[in-house]
Each structure stands twice: as C-alpha cells, then as structure tokens.
C-alpha cells in the first residue's frame, strides 16, 4: 500500500497513531473508502465524504456503538474514531467462504440483538438511510411510527421525484391506513435498520459482520423483511436459527411485504427505476 497524505494525516489526527500506508477500497456507493495500515499493526477502514450532511458519520458511529452494546449480538466493526467528515472503523477481513454454520450463528446473534430491545419506537436522534435523512422521533405505536416516520415521508419524496405513479402511491397509502390491523403488537427491538446483503460481510473468522447501520428501535420484522428483499446466502438457515432463538409471531412470512415498503420507497427515491412500481404491487396484495 502507498500512502495518501491527506487521508493519512486526517486519520492520524483522529487516532493519535501514525499511518504507515493507505489504499483505496472499491465498492462504496456513498463515501470514499480507504484502507489504513497503522504503526501498531492494526488495519482500519476510513470513510470520508466531502460536505457530508450534518451528523452523517456521527449517526453511523452511534448506531454501531449502540448495536455493539449487546453481548452475544451480531458482530460489528469497532468504531475507532468519528467526526463530521469521516469515520474510522476496525477492518473486517472478508472471505469468499459462506459456511452454513456461520449463517446459523448469525441467525442466533441477530435474534439476540433484536431481543435486547430499545426504550421506544425510534431513537433520541435522527439518522440516515443511504444519503437520505431518516426521522426517528418517537411515536405511540409501531403502526404509527412506521407510517409517519418510514413509509409516508419517502412516499412523498418518491412522488416529488417522479419515482412512483399516482396509482402505486394510492395503493401504498391504502395499506398505511390498515397497518394497525395487519401487524401484531411487539415491544421495540434493537434494529440494524438497513440489513441487506451488501451490509453483511462474511469474515475470515467464519462469522457474518454487519456494517452501515441505520439503527433505531422498531419492529424486528423490518430487518428480516430487508434480508428477504435482497437475499442472503443460506437465508433459510438464518431464519430457522432466528426463530428457534426468538420465535416469530404467526404469519410473519405473509407480512414481509409490509415491511419491505420502506426500503423499496427509499430505493425509489434514490435510484428510481422500478422500485416505486414494486412497492405499489406489494401494497396491492394487502388491499
């Protein structure tokens, strides 16, 4: 690895440790990622974004720390430093191997994280989902929170951006009015909040590490719905282990579409394409 002076200097300011070498990391959709080799021998990941939204990296760091409080929960990278312009994390060395036993362990760990719970629906501070602001102000129930903090804000933004048709938007709005009848009551779970397969890293330690949270207190079926929306290797094994450790309410598979509306609308806002139409099609199932 060579040494990129600007990234190295900023990391040294935050860590108080010399940076021996740096290397660019491919694959980030939002931030610029740089691999750091520290004089201590540790390897770290630095994510930077010029003119980042206020609180952007601080929210990521806070989410990682909050999720990491759970003993026996999902593995997460340690936060080494966070500032308004960047975050520095312990490096997760990935593997091409995807052993079934790692999926089983992940299902158990995810159940443990969810079961640790949250004090309320939402979180004390707002966050981000991708580049988009994500409101977290609490509400009195999960159906209310899911409607006014998750579905409707992104539905409005998708309409404003021309990413969803009026008929598909009407189908989503119709479901919102029925959420209290469709979703069983549970206490708030400690959610990752953006749990798609790109945020699940299969490590060389034969464990699945999760990154880039949009954490808050919510219904645990949200994380599970996102895993099913974009897929994960050995997902049936994950779910079997999860359900054994923290049994799900009857009918959870039939409700996956309800909690997929949020990520689909977020994707419609960010990428357009067919995500708005897909949200409308799923919403129509619950009419």
How far is the CA of 57 from the CAs of 86, 151, 238, in angstroms?
6, 24, 30
Say whether 194 is catalytic: yes
d(CA 123, CA 208): 25
Nearest one of 29, 269, 250 to 157, comparing CA atoms? 269
How far is the CA of 17 from the CAs of 77, 89, 195, in angstroms?
19, 14, 32
Is residue 11 a contact partner of residue 1, using CB atoms and an 8 Å limit?
no
Nearest one of 217, 196, 214, 35 to 113, comparing CA atoms? 217
Catalytic residue among 85, 126, 166, 194: 194
How far is the CA of 58 from the CAs of 71, 87, 156, 185, in angstroms?
22, 8, 27, 31
Tell the burial category of 29 from Cβ atoms under 10 Å away from its Cβ (0-12, 13-18, 19+).
Answer: exposed
Nearest one of 49, 71, 126, 87 to 212, comparing CA atoms? 87
Dihedral over alpha carbons 109, 110, 112, 115 (to 10 degrees): 180
Is residue 34 a contact partner of residue 24, using CB atoms and an 8 Å limit?
yes
d(CA 174, CA 222): 19
Active site residues: 194
């Amino acid at each position: 690895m060579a040494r990129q002076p600007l990234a190295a200097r900023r990391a040294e300011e935050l860590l108080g440790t010399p940076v021996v070498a740096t290397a660019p990391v491919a694959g980030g959709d939002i931030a610029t990622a740089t691999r750091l080799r520290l004089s201590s021998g540790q390897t770290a990941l630095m994510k930077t974004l010029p003119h980042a939204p206020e609180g952007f990296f601080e929210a990521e760091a806070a989410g990682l720390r909050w999720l990491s409080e759970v003993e026996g929960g999902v593995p997460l990278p340690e936060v080494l430093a966070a500032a308004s312009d960047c975050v520095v994390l312990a490096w997760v060395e990935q593997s091409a191997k995807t052993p079934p036993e790692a999926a089983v362990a992940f299902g158990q760990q995810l159940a443990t994280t969810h079961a640790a719970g949250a004090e309320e629906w939402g979180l004390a501070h707002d966050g981000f989902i991708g580049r988009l602001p994500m409101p977290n102000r609490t509400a009195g129930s999960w159906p209310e929170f899911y409607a006014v903090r998750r579905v409707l804000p992104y539905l409005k933004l998708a309409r404003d951006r021309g990413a969803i048709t009026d008929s598909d938007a009407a189908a989503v709005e119709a479901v919102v009015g029925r959420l209290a009848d469709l979703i069983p009551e549970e206490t708030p779970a400690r959610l990752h909040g953006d749990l798609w397969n790109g945020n699940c890293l299969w490590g060389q330690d034969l464990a699945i590490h999760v990154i880039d949270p949009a954490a808050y207190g919510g219904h645990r079926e949200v994380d599970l719905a996102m895993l099913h929306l974009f897929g994960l290797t050995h997902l049936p094994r994950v779910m079997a282990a999860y359900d054994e450790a923290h049994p799900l309410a009857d009918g959870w598979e039939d409700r996956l579409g309800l909690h997929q509306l949020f990520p689909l609308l977020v994707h419609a806002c960010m990428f357009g394409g067919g995500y708005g139409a897909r949200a409308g099609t799923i919403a129509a199932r619950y009419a």
